[in-house]
Amino acid sequence: MLRSFTFLLVFLLPSLAFAQSCSFSMTNMNFNAVDTLSNNPVNTTATLSVTCTAGLLDLGKRLLICPNIGAGTGGASSATARQMLNGTKPLNYQLYSDSGMSVVWGSNTWAYPSRAPAYALTMALLGGGNLVGASGSLTMYGSVLGFQPTAATGAFTSSFAASDTTFLYGYSSATTCATPSGTSGSAPFSVSASVAANCLINIQNIDFGTRGVLTTNTNATGSVTATCTPNTSYTISLGGGTANAAPTARKMFKGTESITYGLYKDLNHLQPWGDASTPGSTVAGTGTGLPQVLTVYGQVKPQTTPSPGVYTDTVVVTLTY
């Protein structure tokens, strides 16, 4: 009897075609301490990392990635100023795609006319297997805008969730992200900064001018200008001068000769302005972020007139906050 058998031969081949898939991650951006009274911006960076995979049939293809970044939870006051918030109080900053900080890193869904930067990757063979892929990174540049004196003190932040980081990717020969399309990914991150209490001080000297015999009161004024961050309490004291004298007994010298004078808080010369060694003689205030000009009233009372010449004194002004 003749019998025949049929063998079923099975040979498995891995699939050569996979849909491209990209994953994204962004480091948080922290500006740390920011001096809002300075004209200088505070700059820092964050890094967007990209990893993409696909099948062998995609080897050598060009993958275009359009990483859109919206306004964040802090919102934006204009096309040039995103905002971090401390409660409802804003701090202006901006995100850029270039180190010169001239091109705002924006989004096609943002209210302001900014666009995401185009980023291209070429798919290459991965480890001799049946997958291809590519990876890379982009630097995001950030700048807190200089001179924001009315910004509050404290911690500021803005968060970028998936809705603010819509990253579109797909195979394309396009060189811009004017009309992006493709698969969507995201990379949530946050931006933060802190504003510490700070004060600046500026002085206008007091000049009593040229006088003859000191038989009447001689008056002159100068000023102390305090610029402090909002709600920052401060105290200004005036030292005792070269003679380390009481507020109304300071002395201007020419050699060993002197002229006695006083410095006061008020026009009527009734409230001496001194330091902690004379209780109640300092001047207190609270910052608004704007310059606050405090007049210093000087007076030379009648006294024995010394020999002619130039008499001077140096008083140390101390602002404590």
Domains of the chain, CATH where assigned: 21-195 (2.60.40.1090), 199-320 (2.60.40.1090)
Amino acid identity for residue 15 in this structure: S
Reported as a single tens digit per residue, the pLDDT across 151-181 is 999 999 999 999 999 999 999 999 999 888 8
What is the C-alpha to C-alpha distance for residues 139 and 150, in angstroms, rounded to an integer?
31
Residue 8 has pLDDT above 90, yes or no: no
Amino acid identity for residue 243 in this structure: A
Residue 9 has pLDDT above 60, yes or no: no
Amino acid identity for residue 198 in this structure: N
Please give the C-alpha separations between residue 59 and each of 17, 64, 201, 226, in angstroms, as whole numbers.
Answer: 10, 14, 65, 65
HEC sequence for 64-99? EEEECCCCCCCCEEECCEEEEEECCEEEEEEEECCC
Residue 146 has pLDDT above 70, yes or no: yes
Structural contact between residues 246 and 274, judged by C-beta atoms closer than 8 angstroms = yes
Q: How far apart are the first and last CA of the chain?
A: 112
- pLDDT tier at 108, thresholds 50, 70, 90: confident
Structural contact between residues 112 and 78, judged by C-beta atoms closer than 8 angstroms = yes
- pLDDT tier at 254, thresholds 50, 70, 90: very high
Q: What is the DSSP letter of 176?
A: S
Residue 22 has pLDDT above 50, yes or no: yes
Please give the C-alpha separations between residue 67 and each of 64, 103, 268, in angstroms, as whole numbers.
Answer: 10, 14, 66
Q: What is the pTM of this model?
A: 0.84
Which whole number is the average pLDDT over 2-6? 41
Reported as a single tens digit per residue, the pLDDT across 189-246 is 999 999 999 999 999 999 999 999 999 999 999 999 999 999 999 999 999 999 999 9
